[in-house]
């Protein structure tokens, strides 16, 4: 794999985003590789799965070139299938999943991080559900995952504003569970070691009970996101958002 590093050592598996020159933004190849790595992790003997980024950040979200490339309905369906498989595989995983965020976790990058049971943020990290800036809506289950952590009212505020949260703000809101300093692998280590000293099988059983309660709701949200995102991709607001991003200016939306 070119953009995703997967490694399993004993009870711990690591999935590392390896596209540092693009702030680990997800293009189609990287998403396919991430899907493959998630399936490997789910099928492994590991009981803990750590997700982290290389370079300067966790993930800046969807690659802008992927968003500007023309997709027919078949290609769009395949892309959304891949994103949904990643979300469902992480959500259903009979493991304790940990996302260690440093730098930026934005858009789809934040949706992926929020699939984890435990979200950790480096003290200088920034978290944003910023799809609105390019006239799109969260996908990857972002609506559900955000609501589950902060409630519907706060989730709408964060989605509509695209506000960038500091690590401290994210912890205060309940969007993140703890902070660390330095590199994500070292920063997550104390949390992983604490998990290794815990009754992991019992913890995973508790996770499975909650998962069974919420799985249908997540799948419903994914379906609604897919339909809405397909509509949003055809709007003038999305086209303006992309132009403004490329021209490094504030968008002038006019639905």
Reported as a single tens digit per residue, the pLDDT across 157-203 is 999 999 999 999 999 999 999 999 999 999 999 999 999 999 999 99
How much of the chain exceeds pLDDT 70, in percent? 98
How far is Cα 183 from Cα 178, in angstroms, rounded to an integer? 15
Q: How far apart are CA 24 and CA 17, in angstroms?
A: 6
pLDDT in tens, 37-60: 999 999 999 999 999 999 999 999
Flag whether the pTM goes above 0.85: yes
What is the pLDDT, as a whole number, of residue 255? 66
pLDDT at position 70? 65
Structure tokens at 91: 């959500």
For position 75, what pLDDT does the model report? 87
Average pLDDT over residues 112-134: 97
pLDDT digits (tens, 9 = 90+) for 7-36: 999 999 999 999 999 999 999 999 999 999
Listed in sequence order, the DSSP H helices in the chain are 28-43, 64-68, 73-92, 108-114, 142-150, 152-161, 167-173, 184-196, 200-232, 236-247
Percent of the chain having pLDDT more than 90?
A: 89
The rounded distance, in Å, linking the Cα atoms of 177 and 194 is 14
List, in order of start, the domains of the chain with CATH numbers.
4-182 (3.90.226.10)
User: Tell me: the pLDDT tens digits for 193-240?
Assistant: 999 999 999 999 999 999 999 999 999 999 999 999 999 999 999 999
CA separation for the pair 249, 252 (Å, rounded): 9
Statement: residue 154 has pLDDT above 70: yes
* DSSP label of 16: E
The vertex-254 CA angle with 252 and 255, nearest 5°, equals 140
Nearest to 167 by CA among 222, 115, 110: 110
């Amino acid at each position: 794999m070119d953009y995703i590093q997967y490694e399993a050592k004993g009870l711990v598996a690591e999935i590392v985003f390896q596209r540092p020159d693009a702030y680990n933004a997800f293009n189609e190849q990287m998403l396919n590789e991430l899907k493959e790595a998630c399936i490997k992790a789910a099928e492994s003997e590991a009981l803990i799965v750590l997700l982290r980024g290389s370079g300067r950040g966790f993930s800046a979200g969807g690659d802008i070139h992927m968003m500007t490339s023309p997709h027919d309905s078949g290609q769009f369906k395949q892309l959304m299938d891949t994103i949904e498989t990643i979300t469902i595989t992480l959500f259903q995983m009979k493991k304790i999943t940990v996302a260690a965020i440093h730098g930026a976790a934005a858009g789809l990058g934040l949706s992926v991080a929020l699939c984890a049971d435990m979200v950790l943020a480096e003290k200088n990290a920034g978290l944003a559900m910023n799809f609105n800036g390019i006239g799109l809506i969260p996908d990857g289950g972002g609506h559900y995952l955000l609501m589950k952590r902060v409630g519907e009212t706060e989730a709408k505020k964060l989605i509509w504003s695209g506000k960038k949260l500091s690590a401290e703000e994210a912890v205060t809101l309940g969007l993140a569970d703890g902070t660390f300093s330095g590199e994500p692998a070292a920063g997550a280590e104390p949390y992983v070691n604490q998990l290794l000293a815990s009754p992991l099988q019992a913890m995973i059983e508790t996770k499975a009970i909650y998962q069974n309660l919420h799985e249908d709701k997540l799948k419903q949200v994914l379906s609604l996101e897919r339909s809405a995102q397909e509509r949003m991709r055809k709007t003038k607001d999305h086209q303006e958002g992309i132009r403004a991003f490329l021209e490094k200016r504030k968008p002038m939306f006019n639905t």
